[in-house]
């Protein structure tokens, strides 16, 4: 609470905070471009086995369509087989008088000379460049899972490092890493290099998200945290629109990859202007630097006189409790060492995993909706605007816990409903998928803010790292679960639907943080929990003591 008072003295949500939050938000516009990039760079166009036109004397006088007819078999839906061809040319299929041809008796074989792709929509993707189809089709999903694995490792590594070395320095480094690795991906000479560069890009993505959220939360007052969190959410949503437009204008995957990566060099250069979190500086005992940063913020906010009054002694008197409880080092064990922290960490693990798991299960499957992929991307982005607007209202006036639980449960129900809708009713299926995706976007909007508020400053980045790890586990598992649909078509939707419902129930056990100042230490979190329990006991005791009188009144 004492740091909140200091923040009010130096300008609260003044000029510095507005510029600071704006600069932190700008990179978020490009985040969706990296997270959902493989919808376009790894799109799989229509394809069939490569047929050598004019390979023999008999085929030299055939049109291309006639050559395809005698070379490529049809599947059960009367579409060209993508991975099979006739072992020998089937000349009988060209005879218009031939009926009831038994195609099952015709000998087929796997494509051995490569594939022909329909490049009208996607002229060049990683799928067409490295032939990630048929027996190699799972490599496409593996590439996305490796990217998510990078985000997972980044959460572990950068979360812990940020609590030890500061938010600002890690954010600067991650901007640079994102720029270099994203650019290197565009020049990948092979699929192996592509996966390695995407993995390192994912690590940088994780560091940018965590440190950006923590810096914005730790430099803004309690009353504006929900708005700042929603601003980040809307920036990500707008980024999905940007991705659809940029991908449409730049269909070649290498140029698209380069376009969404180069801006991070700009973000790297201007992030040197940022101030380090004064909250974190106080907690780790760097009081002189904390005073310096507070004075700088006060000066930019036009509160120079108030800033001049802040010194080390002021900090010591205002944040006596926090400074007294400083430990030399905090680890992941501190996230589960005490009862309340253990409950918070376990529940948040459920929430983050399920939200990310179901979100990417829907968002990375745009080609299966039977609608133009660019249009679906824009629809999926558009639903986030009303979803996040409603969520910020409930976050601000009803509470974080209610918003988190309801958003997840509704998302799960919407996904499960699609199991009972026939495949040919694509529009209705898309409507429910879009509604579910909107609920998951609202969940993301809430959980980023909620997590930053639930964890105290001393382990906030470590907690964000754990949460980020669970989210990326969800993102990694989502493509694997999607592949299970090849054997049991409805199974992915069952899993995608049940997971958020379970996590929505888990969210109901989290403490409410509406209008509650950020906690600086673990002890403050535990004390707040004990106070809540004592209040509940007192209320229960009061109710039980008044029960006899209430019964007398009823009887009379």
What is the arithmetic mean of pLDDT over 30-34? 82
pLDDT of 550 higher than 60:
no
pLDDT score, position 166: 85
Which residue segments constitute the domains of the chain, with CATH numbers given? 2-44+130-507 (1.20.1250.20), 47-91+108-117 (no CATH)
pLDDT in tens, 388-415: 889 888 998 899 999 999 999 999 999 8
Q: How confident is the model at residue 1 (pLDDT cuts 50, 70, 90)?
A: very low
pLDDT of 78 higher than 50:
yes
pLDDT score, position 322: 62
pLDDT in tens, 114-148: 888 888 888 899 999 998 888 888 788 888 888 88
pLDDT score, position 323: 65
- Distances in whole angstroms, Cα of residue 537 to Cα of each of 126, 354, 532, 544, 547: 61, 33, 9, 10, 15
Q: How confident is the model at residue 371 (pLDDT cuts 50, 70, 90)?
A: low
Q: How many residues does the chain have?
A: 556
Neighbours of 168 (CB within 10 A): 20
**SS3 readout for 100-142:** CCCHHHCCEEECCCCEEECCCCCCCCHHHHHCCCHHHCHHHHH
What is the arithmetic mean of pLDDT over 329-351? 88
pLDDT score, position 28: 85
Most confident of 147-161, 465-479, 502-516: 502-516
pLDDT of 187 higher than 90:
yes
71-75, 179-183, 257-261: which has the minimum mean pLDDT?
Answer: 71-75
**SS3 readout for 421-475:** CCCCCHHHHHHHHHHHHHHHHHHHHHHHHHHHHHCCHHHHHHHHHHHHHHHHHHH
pLDDT of 349 higher than 90:
yes
What is the arithmetic mean of pLDDT over 337-354? 92
What is the arithmetic mean of pLDDT over 204-233? 81
Percent of the chain surpassing pLDDT 90:
21
Cβ atoms of residues 348 and 443 within 8 Å: no
pLDDT of 263 higher than 80:
yes
Tell me the pLDDT of the chain averaged across its residues: 82
Q: 440-463 burial string, b = 16+ CB within 10 Å, else e?
A: bbbbbbbbbbbbbbbbbbbbbbbb
Note if the pTM is more than 0.75: no
pLDDT score, position 57: 54
Q: Is the dihedral of CA 152, 157, 161, 167 positive or negative?
A: negative
CA distance 203 to 197: 10
pLDDT score, position 291: 83
pLDDT in tens, 79-105: 788 888 887 777 777 766 655 555 555
What is the arithmetic mean of pLDDT over 205-224? 82
Q: What is the dihedral of CA 233, 371, 406, 238, to 10 degrees?
A: 10
pLDDT score, position 135: 80
pLDDT score, position 101: 57
């Amino acid at each position: 609470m004492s740091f909140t008072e200091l923040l009010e003295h130096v300008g609260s949500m003044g000029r510095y905070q507005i510029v600071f939050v704006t600069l932190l938000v700008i990179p978020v516009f490009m985040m969706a471009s990296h997270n959902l990039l493989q919808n376009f760079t790894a799109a799989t166009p229509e394809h069939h086995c490569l047929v050598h036109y004019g390979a023999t004397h008999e085929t030299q006088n055939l049109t291309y369509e006639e050559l395809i007819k005698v070379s490529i078999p049809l599947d059960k839906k009367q579409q060209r087989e993508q991975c099979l061809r006739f072992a020998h040319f089937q000349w009988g299929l060209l005879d218009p008088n031939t009926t009831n041809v038994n195609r099952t008796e015709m000998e087929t074989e796997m494509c051995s000379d490569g594939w022909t792709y329909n490049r009208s929509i996607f002229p060049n993707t990683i799928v067409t460049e490295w032939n990630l189809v048929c027996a190699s089709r799972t490599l496409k999903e593996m590439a996305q899972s490796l990217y998510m694995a990078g985000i997972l490792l980044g959460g572990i590594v950068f979360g812990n490092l940020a609590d030890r070395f500061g938010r600002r320095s890690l954010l600067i480094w991650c901007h640079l890493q994102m720029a270099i690795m994203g650019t290197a991906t565009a020049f990948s000479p092979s699929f192996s290099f592509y996966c390695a560069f995407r993995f390192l890009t994912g690590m940088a993505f994780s560091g940018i998200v965590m440190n950006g959220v923590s810096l914005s939360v730790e430099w803004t007052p309690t009353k504006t945290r929900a708005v700042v969190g929603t601003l980040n959410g809307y920036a990500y949503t707008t980024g999905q629109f940007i991705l659809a437009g940029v991908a449409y204008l730049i269909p070649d995957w290498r140029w698209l990859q380069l376009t969404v990566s180069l801006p991070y060099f700009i973000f790297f250069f201007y992030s040197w202007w940022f101030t380090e979190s004064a909250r974190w500086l106080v907690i780790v005992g760097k009081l002189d630097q904390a005073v310096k940063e507070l004075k700088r913020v006060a000066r930019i906010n036009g509160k120079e006189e108030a800033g001049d009054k802040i010194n080390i002694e002021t900090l010591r008197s205002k944040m006596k409790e926090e400074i007294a409880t400083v430990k030399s080092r905090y680890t992941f064990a501190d996230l589960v060492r005490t009862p309340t922290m253990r409950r918070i960490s376990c529940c948040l693990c459920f929430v983050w995993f399920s939200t990310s798991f179901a979100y990417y299960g829907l968002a990375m499957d745009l080609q299966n909706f039977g609608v133009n992929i660019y249009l679906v991307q824009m629809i999926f982005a558009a639903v986030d605007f009303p979803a996040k607007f409603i969520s910020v209202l409930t976050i601000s006036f009803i509470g974080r816990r209610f918003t988190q639980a309801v958003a997840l449960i509704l998302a799960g129900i919407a996904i499960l409903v699609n199991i009972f809708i026939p495949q040919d009713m694509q529009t209705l299926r898309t409507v429910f998928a879009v509604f579910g995706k909107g609920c998951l976007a609202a969940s993301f909007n809430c959980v980023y803010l909620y997590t930053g508020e639930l964890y105290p400053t001393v382990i906030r980045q470590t907690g964000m790292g754990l949460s980020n790890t669970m989210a990326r586990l969800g993102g990694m598992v989502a493509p694997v679960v999607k592949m299970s649909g090849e054997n049991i078509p409805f199974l992915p939707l069952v899993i995608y639907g049940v997971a958020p419902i379970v996590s929505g129930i888990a969210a109901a056990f989290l403490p409410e943080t509406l209008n509650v100042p950020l906690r600086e230490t673990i002890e403050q979190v535990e004390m707040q929990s004990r106070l809540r329990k004592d209040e509940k006991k007192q209320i229960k005791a009061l109710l039980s003591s008044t029960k006899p009188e209430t019964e007398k009144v009823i009887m009379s």
